[in-house]
Amino acid sequence: MKEDADSGNGTGMDVQQAAAIMQDTTERAQRALIVRRPVLFAVWGVAWLVADGTIWLSVRDQHPYSGPTPASLLVLTLVVAAAAAITTVLVGRAGSGVGGWTVLQRRILLLSYLGGYIGLFALEAAIDHAGASRAVLGVYGAAAPILLAGLVVAASSALNLDWSVFGLGIWLLAVAAGSGFAGPVSVWAVSALAGGGALLLLAAAGLRRRRS
Amino acid sequence: MSEDELDPVIHAPARLRIMVTLATVPEGDNLSFTRLQDLIGLTPGNLITHLRKLEDAEYVTTLKSGSGVTARTAVSLTSAGRAALDRYSAVVRELLGSVSPEPRS
């Protein structure tokens, strides 16, 4: 709906109308410009739960442990790709036409995360090359990405002093550090439940707060 | 307190919507002219007219970059604009408080 220039001037606007315009505009702008975090938490919570859960199902009867099956790794890849695609659409839609510091900060965080992942894979290859067992590689493969995610999430909370995000980051660091003790098989189940489950709980809490 | 204390530069429906929309993005961020136009629902000519008034008051800044298909006009709220909107909101709240009905006993 287009408005003519005259109706944009203040003639006749009383204070109640001004308050109504402020509230309506704020709600519209927030809906359009701010990514709904509970939706992102839900998307990644489901992805995490399905991906690590599938890997756990593929390794739970292995004696001795030999590692995730190609089929379960394919599921992980597809699920993560789907979650990344949904995130890209949601963030891209909200961020369309927005420029400045936030965009730059988001790019730096993404680059840090991708750089960290490349480092993790390189280190895994080095550990393998140094003669680590399949079990050690299994624990590393499951726990190290959570450690990286926790670190990035906790550090990102400093950008706008978001304590709930900081709490999530610290929780992920604790899950990464603790889950390794479950061994190369159960580490996947612990990761799926404690990591994916935590994101789903945060999503549910966020959605409940929005409705109340 | 009276309605006379409401900043006349902001106290116009279109300019109020522009200010509130720009205040939604964090300080240091900006909105492109086309996205702002899309969110406010004004014609380009009207938006330019209102932005000029807000620029004259030093409440917003516009910055053009690129050329041709990559041309972009970034619109952002200045610190003075953000402070003026905060003052405006406070006056509106104060006035609404003073005209709200007495609670029933």
Under the banding of pLDDT at 50, 70 and 90, the label for residue A1 is: very low
Q: What is the pLDDT at residue A4? A: 46
User: Could you give the number of structural domains in chain A?
Assistant: 1
Closest of A34, A173, A45 to residue A94, by C-alpha: A34
Domain assignment present for residue A28? The answer is no
Domain assignment present for residue A84? The answer is yes
Phi, psi dihedrals of residue B10, rounded to the nearest 5°:
-90, -30
Q: Quote the distance between the C-alpha of residue A185 and its chain's center.
A: 24
Task: Tell me if B16 and A14 make a contact (CB, 8 A cut-off).
Answer: no
Domain assignment present for residue A80? The answer is yes
Cβ–Cβ contact A33 with B under 8 A: yes
Residues of chain B with pLDDT under 50: 102-105
Cα separation, A205 vs A209, in Å, equals 6
What CATH class is the domain B3-96?
mainly alpha
Domain assignment present for residue A67? The answer is yes
Cα separation, B13 vs B82, in Å, equals 17
Both structure tokens of B22: 């720009």
A14 pLDDT higher than 70: yes
Q: How far is A156 from chain B (nearest CA, A)?
A: 15
Per-residue pLDDT reduced to its tens digit, A95-150:
999 999 888 988 999 999 999 999 999 999 999 999 999 999 999 999 999 999 99
Cα separation, A192 vs A56, in Å, equals 9
CB A171 within 8 A of CB A149: no
Domain assignment present for residue A112? The answer is yes
% of residues, chain A, pLDDT over 70: 94
Domain assignment present for residue A11? The answer is no
Q: Quick check: pTM over 0.90?
A: no
A5 pLDDT higher than 50: no
Q: How far is A6 from chain B (nearest CA, A)?
A: 9
Task: Tell me if A18 and B39 make a contact (CB, 8 A cut-off).
Answer: no
Q: What is the pLDDT at residue B97? A: 84
A80 pLDDT higher than 50: yes
Tell me which of A93 and A159 has the higher pLDDT.
Answer: A93
Q: How far is A105 from chain B (nearest CA, A)?
A: 11
A60 pLDDT higher than 50: yes
Inter-chain CB pairs, A–B, below 8 Å: 115
The per-residue pLDDT of chain B, averaged, comes to 90
Q: Domain residue spans in chain B?
A: 3-96
Domain span holding position A144? 36-211
Domain assignment present for residue A53? The answer is yes
Whether ipTM > 0.90 holds is: no
Q: Which residues of B touch A12 (CB under 8 A)?
A: none
The per-residue pLDDT of chain A, averaged, comes to 90
Using DSSP, how many helices (H) and how many strands (E) does chain A show? 8, 1
Both structure tokens of A44: 């990644």
Q: Quote the distance between the C-alpha of residue A70 and its chain's center.
A: 24
Domain assignment present for residue A188? The answer is yes
- Residue of B26, B96, B99 lying closest to A102 (CB–CB): B26
Cα separation, B81 vs B18, in Å, equals 11
Q: What is the pLDDT at residue B5? A: 84
Q: What is the pLDDT at residue A9? A: 53
Q: What is the pLDDT at residue A169? A: 94
% of residues, chain A, pLDDT over 90: 77
